[in-house]
Amino acid sequence: MGYKVVVAGATGNVGREMLNILAEREFPVDEIVALASRKSLGTEVSFGDKTLKCKDLDTFDFTGWDIALFAIGSDATKIYAPKAAGAGCIVIDNSSLYRYDPDVPLIVPEVNAHAIMGYAKKNIIANPNCSTAQMVVALKPLHDRATIKRVVVATYQSVSGAGKEGMDELWNQTKAIYNPTDNVPPSKFSKQIAFNVIPHIDVFLDSGETKEEWKMVAETKKILDPKIKVTATCVRVPVFVGHSEAINIETEEFLDWQEAQDILREAPGIMLVDKRESGGYITPIECVGEFATYVSRVRQDSTIENGLSLWCVSDNLRKGAALNAVQIAELLGQKVLKKG
Ligand SMILES: NC(=O)c1ccc[n+]([C@@H]2O[C@H](COP(=O)([O-])OP(=O)(O)OC[C@H]3O[C@@H](n4cnc5c(N)ncnc54)[C@H](OP(=O)(O)O)[C@@H]3O)[C@@H](O)[C@H]2O)c1
């Protein structure tokens, strides 16, 4: 016996990837439904070798469904997640709406699987921001060994993190550069993204940081350890898929870079590719479609007593969103629903 699974936002970047990953990982599905907005009614999406026709989320009855994987943005989530949860269907949500709610667990299975039972308060589990998810997977084993005090991170985030429209804007602007009669002004992004980098993701806060930067701070504390200090600079780059991060770490105890490599090599969810030679590291293009969070360039930071620097790359649509959501569904199956 398997699960009755809803995928809401099935026409989007994350929704399509959730369907792919449910099929790839052979999640025990008895019945599955793909939902999107009314305008996508009947749109076909793939689930393994099957094709599903999208239904309208607005008129869908969640009664009798076990798990709903949501990737529809915060505004729509505010309307439909309580509806699904109230009907007894456990929601795993990709938006930021519930991430900071103390009554909703924020889960990265490699890091804080134990928090899953907190789902029961609202019947909702939150999935973290894409840049946080891959970072905490890399930080967790190092924190367990040497206690991380402070993290300084700069991100290089792909346009798919801004949804389908973000990818279209990079594609169309890039073509327009070679065909100057076309003019594609910035719309999804604040400035031209083709052949450029933009140090601005999400809205500005009074502190001068952006909301994306604040999310990395707040989510790392909630998932990994409230005592860890984090400062982030989040940058959008003209890459379609795959987020990269340059991470500097200060620990309580000294951790030699070779021991850090050994720890990371054994850690769940991580693939260490670190050859200290030309090409001996991972770039975003190589992580597309992969499950792993890749770590490269592990080295000592000798400007502080106990410092390490490393490079971390992952598919933002997978570990940063869809894979993590499906891993949460798997955890929910093992710990709570126990079917399949
Ligand atoms: N992309 C990432 O790396 C990433 C990572 C972590 C979290 N997230 C979060 O995941 C969510 C989805 O992101 P995405 O990148 O997949 O966006 P996207 O490609 O723009 O897709 C949005 C999806 O939501 C659906 N939708 C929007 N409003 C709706 C409504 N009122 N009713 C029903 N369906 C609605 C859309 O359906 P139609 O096609 O019918 O409009 C589409 O299926 C967002 O909350 C985002 O912040 C994204």
For ligand 1, the distance from its centroid to the CA atom of residue 267, given in whole angstroms, is 31
Which pLDDT value is given to residue 285? 98
**Range 288-291, long-range pairs (CB < 8 A, 24+ positions):** 288/241, 288/242, 288/315, 289/315, 289/318, 290/314, 290/315, 290/318, 291/318, 291/319, 291/323
pLDDT, tens digit, for every residue of 30-84?
999 999 999 999 999 999 999 999 999 999 999 999 999 999 999 999 999 999 9
- Pick from 37, 44, 201 the residue to mutate for probing ligand 1's pocket: most ligand atoms within 8 Å of its CB: 37
Q: Residue 319: what pLDDT?
A: 96
Minimum-distance ligand 1 atom for the alpha carbon of 11: 43
Instruction: Give me ligand 1 centre to Cα 250, in Å.
Output: 36
Structure tokens at 252: 């309580």
pLDDT confidence bin for 182, thresholds 50/70/90: confident
C-beta 40 within 6 A of ligand 1: yes
pLDDT at residue 183, rounded to an integer: 87
Per-residue pLDDT tens digits for 101-148? 999 999 999 999 999 999 999 999 999 999 999 999 999 999 999 999
Ligand 1 centroid vs 161 CA: distance in angstroms? 10
Q: Which residue has the tokens 């955890």?
A: 331
Residue 340, pLDDT > 80, answer: no
Q: 320 CB under 6 A from ligand 1?
A: yes
Determine the atom of ligand 1 nearest the C-alpha atom of 9: 43
Say if ligand 1 is within 6 A of residue 166 CB.
Answer: no
Tokens of 276: 């200290």
- The whole-number average pLDDT for the span 180-194 is 93
The beta strand positions in the chain, using DSSP E, are 3-8, 29-36, 44-47, 50-53, 55-56, 67-70, 90-93, 124-126, 148-157, 229-236, 243-251, 270-272, 293-300, 307-314
For the CA of 36, the nearest atom of ligand 1: 34
Residue in 72, 131, 328 to alter for ligand 1 test, most ligand atoms within 8 A of Cβ: 72
> What is the position in ligand 1's atom list of the atom closest to the CA of 97?
45
Q: What is the mean pLDDT of residues 256-280?
A: 98
Q: At 7, is the pLDDT very low, low, confident or very high (cuts 50, 70, 90)? A: very high
| pLDDT exceeds cutoff 80 at 232 | yes
Q: Is the pLDDT of residue 164 over 80?
A: yes
Quick one: pLDDT at residue 274? 98
Residues in the chain: 340
- Report whether residue 164 contacts ligand 1, using a CB cutoff of 6 Å: yes
Q: For residue 86, name the pLDDT band (cuts at 50, 70, 90).
A: very high
Please check the confidence at residue 339 and state whether its pLDDT lies above 90.
Answer: no
- Mutational test site, ligand 1, from 13, 33, 60, 211, max ligand atoms within 8 Å of CB: 13
Percentage above 90 pLDDT, the chain: 97
Question: What is the CA(34)–ligand 1 centre distance, in A?
Answer: 13
CB 13 less than 6 A from any atom of ligand 1: yes
Residue pair 78/14 in contact (Cβ under 8 Å)? The answer is: no
pLDDT on residue 180? 77
pLDDT at 217: 98
**Would you state the pLDDT for residue 144?**
98
The arithmetic mean of pLDDT across residues 286-314, rounded, is 98
Catalytic residues: 130, 243
Computed over every residue of the chain, the mean pLDDT equals 97
CA 11 – ligand 1 centroid, Å: 8
CA of 102 to the centre of ligand 1 (A): 24
Percentage of the chain beyond pLDDT 70 is 100
Rounded-to-integer distance, Cα 252 and Cα 49, Å: 50
Residue 45 CA to ligand 1 centre (angstroms): 14
Ligand 1, atom 17, lies closest to the CA of 163
Cα distance between residue 67 and residue 340, in whole Å: 13
Pocket probe for ligand 1: among 11, 135, 211, the residue whose CB has the most ligand atoms within 8 Å is: 11
* Residue 84 CB-half CA count within 13 A: 29
Residues 278, 321: contact at Cβ < 8 Å?
Answer: no
Q: At what angle do helices 130-146 and 211-223 cross, to 10 degrees?
A: 40
**pLDDT greater than 90 at residue 181:** no
Report residue 195 as tokens. Answer: 């052949």
* Mean pLDDT value of segment 90-98: 97
